[in-house]
Amino acid sequence: MVNKIYRESLEAIRDVKDGAVIMFGGFGLSGIPQNLIRALYEQGTRDITVISNNPGSRLGDTEYGLAILFKAGRVRKFIGSFPTATKSFKELYEQGKVELELVPQGTLAERIRAKGAGIGGFYVRTGAGTLLGSGKETRTIQGARYILEQPLGADFAFVKAYRGDVYGNLVYRYTGANFNPLMAMAADITVAEVEEVAGAGDIDPNTIHTPGIFVDRVVKGERYDRWYE
């Protein structure tokens, strides 16, 4: 019988090897898998490629989320849309200690979805003719300039949902969804941390945002920081 529930975050990410490519859901601090990030930090995994909208986020003088991995020098490369959000990334970047692949946010979302949906590539106008479009195959469609974008996958996706059940069905809340449902589709192994574990059949099947087929492991997050008052 299938039961995707793991007892703790560390257990759910134990097989993540040095050099892994990992997608992290979240936008700023909303919808980030903070417990899986902490577990990965504790585990000491190195040389990872991070795919995420931001490399962590700053509130006042403190940096949260993925920033702990960057600060600790665990990340080889960042693929995302808005790295300016953290000072620790900026410092590493300026010292040439971390690689950056900058992707427009909508293209990032669409590339991840493309991987999950078996799309071999797609054309968008976003970035055509700009620095971010340079080197990409260009095509004129109905008078407008488009560039070809590639699907983007990963070894692991770490996502965060509000609720999840034993089959991996997930429900998000507010703007906590963001990249999470897309990343869940695009990785070899998807690990979801949730605030609440629901029993089999307890989630109305009409309200499920991520069907369990996209999720391999579910773990109840150990601790949720309250960043705002």
Out of 5, 10, 119, 132, name the contact with a second copy by CB under 8 A.
119
Q: Read off the tokens for 172.
A: 């998000």
Out of 5, 10, 119, 148, name the contact with other proteins by CB under 8 A.
119
Nearest approach, Cβ of 180 to a second copy (angstroms)? 13
Amino acid making up residue 127: G
Q: Is 65 in the site for other proteins (CB under 8 A)?
A: no
Nearest approach, Cβ of 119 to a second copy (angstroms)? 5
Distance CA 173, CA 91 (A): 33
Distance CA 45, CA 173 (A): 30
Length of the chain in terms of residues written: 229
Q: Is 170 in the site for a second copy (CB under 8 A)?
A: no
Residues between 187 and 206 that touch other proteins (CB under 8 A): 200-201, 205-206
Contact between 56 and 81 under an 8 Å Cβ cutoff? The reply is no
Contact between 98 and 83 under an 8 Å Cβ cutoff? The reply is no
Nearer Cβ to a second copy (10/119): 119
Residues between 16 and 55 that touch other proteins (CB under 8 A): 27-31, 53
Out of 24, 156, 172, 179, name the contact with a second copy by CB under 8 A.
172
DSSP bridge partners of 21 = 49
Q: Is 66 in the site for other proteins (CB under 8 A)?
A: no
